[in-house]
């Protein structure tokens, strides 16, 4: 169980780190301030600030996020009437606003906020030392820090470093980068699997071997034979070969193959088996394997393509009949992680690769609040050639967040029933 827990935390951590780093990297390149980069959710257990970004690790290893300036409107948490503590520099500009109860290393000025503008005007007004006879205005430094109520220290978000101040192409790239990183991670992991395995199966119509007492052995097929046709159906690779054999309508068929340059034809009776309630046929052959560099690279790419195709196929099937069993949340991922650990390191790597490409594709679905929903709004903005009203965008994203929260609760409850009861 301990191995499963460690693997689960590592898998979730890697997925989140890679996904969020995509948003982070392209936001930085576009001049957008990344106020916080968090791994995990809930109460923070560690934080450090570097180059304007606060890096945090939070208690619950079930997600993470980046907070981009201008996309966390309520993050400043300032309100008229709120008591804060200010620190000033030599030019009497505010360099730190403390909204929490935690004591500061250096003494500050107690102020009760009356009004403020931390976006354009960069000022704050309030009653100093609760002296309500005079409202005092303070200039706020462009790079001033703000300590939030939970003690998290972040930069303020002036207009020029906010997300919506970036160009449309930059914003689209920021929104797409998380999923892109997941695809890159999946491809790298699949290629890595190809080099970690002693040999990799190659997608060829050449046989790697035949099973004992199988139809293939009965008719004299050998390793190295190249099957070119099953019945009248031409086959050029292993995928076509196995699919054609499995879906053959009659057990009695003919196999055309090439051995030492000579083309031969042999009648054969296939073995009938039942899979998923359907009758399929088997010839009893093994796939050829290779240790060549090019074949290992090709194996990684083919596994990546197959995983993507499998996920899109599953999404298509969901359109015809949706069930909560088609989705899985943290509980399902934990249960599958437990199964993957039984196959050792390679099993965990393979599962991580599948999960990464799955996360990338799911995030690109055109659902509000997901990256795909944000990209859809970007495309609409490009078509109408003007910014989408912030109020409308906020409502759309709020609807998406509510939908996703409800869906997550339903999926989690369903997963608990499936895996823990």
- Same-domain status, 278 and 298: no
> pLDDT tens digits for 180-223?
999 999 999 999 999 999 999 999 999 999 999 999 999 999 99
Confidence of residue 401 (pLDDT cuts 50, 70, 90): confident
| Residue 173 domain-assigned (yes or no) | no
| Residue 120 domain-assigned (yes or no) | yes
Identify the pLDDT of residue 59.
87
- Same-domain status, 281 and 304: no
Q: What is the mean pLDDT of residues 332-344?
A: 79
Identify the pLDDT of residue 342.
81
Identify the pLDDT of residue 162.
94
Tell me if residue 4 falls in helix, strand or coil: helix
Is residue 42 pLDDT above 90, yes or no? no
What is the percentage of the chain residues whose pLDDT exceeds 90? 53
Whole-angstrom Cα distance, residue 121 to residue 203? 64
Is residue 20 pLDDT above 80, yes or no? yes
Confidence of residue 326 (pLDDT cuts 50, 70, 90): low
Helical ranges in 197-292 per DSSP H: 215-218, 238-246
| Residue 306 domain-assigned (yes or no) | yes
- Same-domain status, 273 and 301: no
43-47, 75-79, 130-134, 357-361: which has the minimum mean pLDDT?
Answer: 75-79
| Residue 31 domain-assigned (yes or no) | no
- Same-domain status, 235 and 124: no
- Same-domain status, 401 and 300: yes
Whole-angstrom Cα distance, residue 249 to residue 230? 11
Q: What is the mean pLDDT of residues 218-231?
A: 92
Phi and psi, residue 290, nearest 5°: -145, 155
- Two structure tokens written together for 141: 């430094």
DSSP single-letter state for residue 92: S
The angle subtended at Cα 46 by Cα 42 and Cα 49, nearest 5°, is 110
* CA distances, 63 to each of 27, 39, 187 (Å): 19, 7, 22
Residues 6+ apart with CB under 8 A from 188: none
- Same-domain status, 280 and 302: no
Whole-angstrom Cα distance, residue 35 to residue 73? 12
| Residue 154 domain-assigned (yes or no) | yes
Residues 6+ apart with CB under 8 A from 218: 268
What residues are labeled active site?
A: 20
CB 333 within 8 A of CB 352: no
- Same-domain status, 92 and 139: yes
- Which one of 254, 287, 320 terminates a domain? 287
Q: What is the mean pLDDT of residues 148-177?
A: 93
Reading phi first (left if > 0) and then psi (alpha if -120 to 50, else beta), residue 258 is in beta
- Two structure tokens written together for 399: 């609807």
Is residue 74 pLDDT above 60, yes or no? no
Measuring CA to CA, which residue among 43, 39, 42, 41 is closest to residue 53? 39
Q: In terms of pLDDT, which residue wins out, 318 or 142?
A: 142
- Same-domain status, 155 and 97: yes
Q: How far is CA 230 from the centre of its chain?
A: 41
Q: In terms of pLDDT, which residue wins out, 227 or 7?
A: 227
Give the containing element (helix H, strand E) for 69. none
| Cβ burial, residue 249 (10 Å; 0-12/13-18/19+) | exposed
Give the containing element (helix H, strand E) for 313. helix 293-320
Burial state string for 207-234 with b = 16 or more CB within 10 A and e = fewer than 16: bbbbeeebbbbebebeeebbbbbbeeee
| Residue 192 domain-assigned (yes or no) | no
Summary mean pLDDT of the chain: 88
Q: What is the mean pLDDT of residues 285-306?
A: 92
Is residue 75 pLDDT above 60, yes or no? no
Identify the pLDDT of residue 44.
87
Which domain does 130 fall in, by range? 83-161
Whole-angstrom Cα distance, residue 232 to residue 250? 13
Whole-angstrom Cα distance, residue 100 to residue 146? 9
| Residue 23 domain-assigned (yes or no) | no
| Residue 341 domain-assigned (yes or no) | yes
Is residue 249 pLDDT above 70, yes or no? yes
Whole-angstrom Cα distance, residue 20 to residue 182? 10
Is residue 354 pLDDT above 80, yes or no? yes
- Residue-by-residue DSSP string for 361-374: HHHTSS-TTSHHHH
- Which one of 287, 306, 327 terminates a domain? 287
CB 56 within 8 A of CB 37: yes
User: Which CATH number characterizes residue 267's domain?
Assistant: 2.30.42.10
CB 37 within 8 A of CB 55: yes
- Same-domain status, 330 and 273: no
- Same-domain status, 212 and 305: no
Domain count, the chain: 3
- Which one of 242, 257, 287 terminates a domain? 287
- Same-domain status, 301 and 210: no
- Residue-by-residue DSSP string for 370-394: SHHHHHHHHHHHHHHTSPPPHHHHH
- Same-domain status, 105 and 153: yes
Identify the pLDDT of residue 10.
87
């Amino acid at each position: 169980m301990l191995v499963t827990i460690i693997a689960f935390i590592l898998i979730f951590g890697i997925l989140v780190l890679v996904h969020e780093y995509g948003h982070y990297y392209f936001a930085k390149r576009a001049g957008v301030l990344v106020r916080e980069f968090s791994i995990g959710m809930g109460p923070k257990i560690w934080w450090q600030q570097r180059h304007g970004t606060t890096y945090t690790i939070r208690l619950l290893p079930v997600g993470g996020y980046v907070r981009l300036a201008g996309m966390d409107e309520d993050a400043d948490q300032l309100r008229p009437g709120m008591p804060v503590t200010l620190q000033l520099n030599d030019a009497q500009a505010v360099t730190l606003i403390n909204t929490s109860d935690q004591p500061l290393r250096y003494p500050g000025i107690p102020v009760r906020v009356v009004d403020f503008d931390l976006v354009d005007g960069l000022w704050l007004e309030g009653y100093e030392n609760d002296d309500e006879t005079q409202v005092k205005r303070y200039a706020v430094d462009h790079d001033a820090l703000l300590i939030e109520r939970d003690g998290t220290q972040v930069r303020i978000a002036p207009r020029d470093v906010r997300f919506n101040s970036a160009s449309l192409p930059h914003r689209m790239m920021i929104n797409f980068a998380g999923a892109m990183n997941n695809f890159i991670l999946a491809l790298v992991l699949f290629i890595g699997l190809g080099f970690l395995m002693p040999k990799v199966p190659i997608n060829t119509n050449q046989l790697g071997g035949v099973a004992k007492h199988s139809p293939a052995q009965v008719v004299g097929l050998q390793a190295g034979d190249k099957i070119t046709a099953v019945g009248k159906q031409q086959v050029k690779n292993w995928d076509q070969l196995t699919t054609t054999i499995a879906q053959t309508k009659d057990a009695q068929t003919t196999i055309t193959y090439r051995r030492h340059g000579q083309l031969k034809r042999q009648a054969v009776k296939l073995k009938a088996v039942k899979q998923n309630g359907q009758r399929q046929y088997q010839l009893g052959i093994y796939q050829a394997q290779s240790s060549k560099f090019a074949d290992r690279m090709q194996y990684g790419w083919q596994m990546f393509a197959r995983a993507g195709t499998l996920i899109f196929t599953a999404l298509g099937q969901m359109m015809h009949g949706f069930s909560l069993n088609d989705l899985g949340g943290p509980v399902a991922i934990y249960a599958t992680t437990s199964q993957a650990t039984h196959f050792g390191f390679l099993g965990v790597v393979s599962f991580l690769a599948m999960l990464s490409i799955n996360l990338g594709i799911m995030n690109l679905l055109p659902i509000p609040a997901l990256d795909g929903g944000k990209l859809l709004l970007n495309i609409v903005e490009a078509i109408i050639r003007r910014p989408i009203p912030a109020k409308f965008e906020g409502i759309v994203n709020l609807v998406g967040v509510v939908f996703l929260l409800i869906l997550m609760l339903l999926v989690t409850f369903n997963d608990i029933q499936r895996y823990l009861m």
